Chains A and B, each alone.
Chain A
Amino acid sequence: MKTHVSTTINGEAVEFLCQPRQSLLEILRDELSLTGCKEGCNNGNCGACTVILNGLPVDSCLVLAVEVEGANIETVEGVAQQRQLHPVQQCFLEGAALQCGICTPGFIMTSKALLEKHPAPDEEEIRFSLAGNLCRCTGYDKIVHAVQAAAESAPAPK
């Protein structure tokens, strides 16, 4: 039997039907066509499916869609405002902090959450906070530099 869920995604009221076994990741991608969120490992190791749930970064593969009734969800699709990239996105772009791009939406979401919590993190805080996001291309340095640049560029808007 399908369950009806009402939630807010990227500031808009969204309703969907789901089976209890379906993850938030499956619903975002397959039902709501929010395919920015990626499936990497599907077991909570890689962070490619990171979304912000009620203000906290979570692996959407480890959330049942039925759990998000009444929740507030942010995905990478809602990060840019009026075609204006978020400082984290701008700095990832300018600093070439991506190669294949599969991990990038997850990194953007965790980095955004970090800068909202700590607007001026040091390198260790950045690396510690991003430990749940794996990138097999870049070697991480460019990602860390991009987050540092974003922190320096402007206080991150919410």
Chain B
Amino acid sequence: MIDFEYTAPTQLDDAISQLSEAGDRARILAGGTDIIVQLREGLQSADLVVDVKKIPELTQFEFTAGQDLQLGASVPCWQVYENSEISAAYTALTDAVHIIGGWQIQSRASVGGNLCNASPAADSIPALIALDAVAHIAGPAGRRTVPASEFCTAPGRNVLEKGELLVSLTLPAPGPHSGSAYQRFIPRNEMDIAVVGAGSYVRLDSDGQKIEQARIALSAVAATPVFAEEASNWLAGQPISEDVFAEAGELAKKVASPIDDMRGPAEYRTHLVGVLTRRTLATACERART
């Protein structure tokens, strides 16, 4: 690996000034499961690596029932699924962080890092979009927020400007009669990259018969994970049935513009969008009813 300097600031302001000073030559390190490989393999280069795991705002998270969750950007996957309250409230995210790599990866990889890495096939991003997460960014010009659905701009690219870093994610309180799920298709059981991923969130009426609100998001079918807005909006007011889920799957295919690659041809991926949309909606509804 090429040489670089390493810093581990304990204050957010110090991180911002170090990142601003080094500009394009700085890279942020959280769990390191992507950036260390990218630096080693020459896919990224850096003169300065800024380890953000000692900044309190990036490591904090606290669950309070009925309130929005603030999840520090460097909180690793295992802390999400080992927290019984968070894992019960945000099941789509829990589904996702449990299958990002193997256990060794989940010990280090962070949810915020998975978002910043901006892989089109990222597992946590459809879950974050379905759960309507908002990214909190800090930088030399102050603070700003960006919805998770708008955070990624191209494969491996995100909205962060020079000197900026992701501080935390807000996940809205799930509310009564709601449920969510994330599933991906891979040809093996674990340790693989999604051929297609889908995250769904639903909020049902108090009888549990109709969908009041839904959010569907997809990965590995476009240059970035995408929010299936038309399918999501169409679901509002619909009864819970296999036919409704199947129709939502057809509508979700409209935002899919997949490529052919070694993981699967575009036609197959488009087919999978329908299947996974249907399945995640069914699971989300089932979870909302229990």
- Listed in ascending order, the chain A residues whose CB lies under 8 Å from chain B are 1, 3, 19-23, 42-45, 47, 50, 53, 56-59, 61-64, 66-67, 110, 113, 127-133
Contacts and interface: CB of A to CB of B under 8 A. Distances in A.
A44 B103 contact: no
Nearest to A41: B37
A71 to B, nearest CB: 12
B78 to A, nearest CB: 7
Contact of A44 (B1, B49, B104, B189): B104
A110 B36 contact: no
Given A20-B5, A21-B4, A64-B6, A59 B40 contact: no
B36 A64 contact: yes
Interface residues of B, number: 29
A129 B99 CA distance: 11
Interface in B174-217: 189-191
Contact of B1 (A21, A113, A133): A21
B191 A131 contact: yes
Contacts of B41: 43
21 contacts: A21-B3, A21-B39, A23-B1, A42-B40, A44-B105, A56-B103, A58-B104, A58-B107, A58-B108, A59-B108, A62-B36, A62-B104, A64-B36, A66-B51, A67-B32, A67-B53, A128-B189, A128-B190, A131-B189, A131-B190, A132-B105
Contacts of B49: 20, 64
B2 interface: yes
Interface of B: 1-6, 8, 29, 32-33, 36-37, 39-41, 49, 51, 53, 78, 101-105, 107-108, 189-191
Contacts of B36: 23, 61-64
Contact of B107 (A53, A66, A133): A53
Q: Is the interface of A mostly helix, strand, loop or mixed?
A: mixed
A46 to B, nearest CB: 10
A20 B1 CA distance: 10
A23 B41 CA distance: 13
A93 B222 CA distance: 48
A57 B107 CA distance: 7
Contacts of A20: 3-6, 49
A22 B39 CA distance: 11
A66 B104 contact: no
Contact of B103 (A43, A63, A67, A131): A131
Contact of A56 (B2, B40, B53, B78): B78
Contacts of A44: 33, 37, 101, 104-105
